[in-house]
């Protein structure tokens, strides 16, 4: 896989998300997402930020959040959601769908992870379905599993992940967890909602750790 291929996947996901958001009712924008404390509107706002965040903005944000990265991301998402309505955010997603610009420090696959996972964060609480394309999701999962940023190494220590819809596995240990790559990606990014679609002896331990 090369950067052009990754960018094509990112563009497709962003455009698909714009279509998804365009189909929501007004009240659905204010529903809670899977991200604790974030509405669907907040998540949509966050998704427009990766192509618009500057190094100076990141430094200012992390100072205001007293060094807490998650708090900075939440503050920036809510601030942008307060400043832009649904139609404006959808237009922004479409406008920069093919942009190669990334947030400072982000790897080429991080925007793909962001789009795939946040797509589930908004779809599942609304009872809507968003399929995750297998090949891009495998690439995103491999990136998350090997990155120190997402915490998957610590979270999944002693666990072997095995995809049931792709030729992919990773990790070592006595606890095996099997399932579709999309559910494994949710698990790897710390979302307990992915556990419902998984099986294997490691599921019970992870349920206790994530809930």
Name the pLDDT band for 1 (thresholds 50, 70, 90): confident
Region 137-157: mean pLDDT is 93
The predicted structure's pLDDT at residue 65: 61
8-state DSSP, 13: H
The predicted structure's pLDDT at residue 114: 97
The per-residue DSSP string of 150-169 comes to S-HHHHTTTEEEEESSSS-E
Q: What is the pTM assigned to this prediction?
A: 0.92
**Cα separation, 36 vs 178, whole angstroms:** 26
Treating both helix axes as pointing N-terminal to C-terminal, what angle do 134-146 and 110-123 enclose, rounded to 10 degrees? 110
């Amino acid at each position: 896989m090369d950067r052009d291929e990754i960018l094509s996947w990112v563009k497709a996901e962003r455009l698909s998300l714009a279509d998804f958001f365009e189909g929501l009712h007004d009240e659905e924008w204010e529903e809670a997402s899977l991200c604790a404390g974030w509405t669907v509107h907040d998540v949509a706002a966050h998704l427009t930020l990766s192509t618009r965040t500057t190094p100076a903005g990141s430094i200012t944000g992390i100072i205001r959040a007293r060094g807490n990265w998650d708090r900075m991301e939440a503050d920036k998402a809510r601030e942008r959601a307060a400043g832009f309505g649904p139609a404006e955010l959808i237009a922004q997603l479409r406008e920069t769908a093919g942009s190669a610009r990334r947030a400072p420090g982000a790897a080429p696959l991080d925007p793909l992870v962001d789009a795939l996972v946040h797509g589930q964060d908004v779809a599942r609480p609304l009872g809507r379905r968003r399929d995750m394309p297998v090949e891009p999701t495998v690439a995103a999962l491999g990136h998350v599993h090997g990155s120190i940023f997402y915490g998957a190494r610590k979270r999944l220590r002693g666990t072997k992940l095995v995809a049931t819809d792709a030729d992919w596995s990773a990790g070592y240990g006595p606890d095996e967890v099997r399932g579709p790559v999309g559910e494994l990606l949710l698990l790897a990014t710390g979302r307990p909602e992915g556990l419902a679609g998984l099986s294997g002896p490691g599921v019970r331990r992870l349920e206790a750790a994530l809930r």
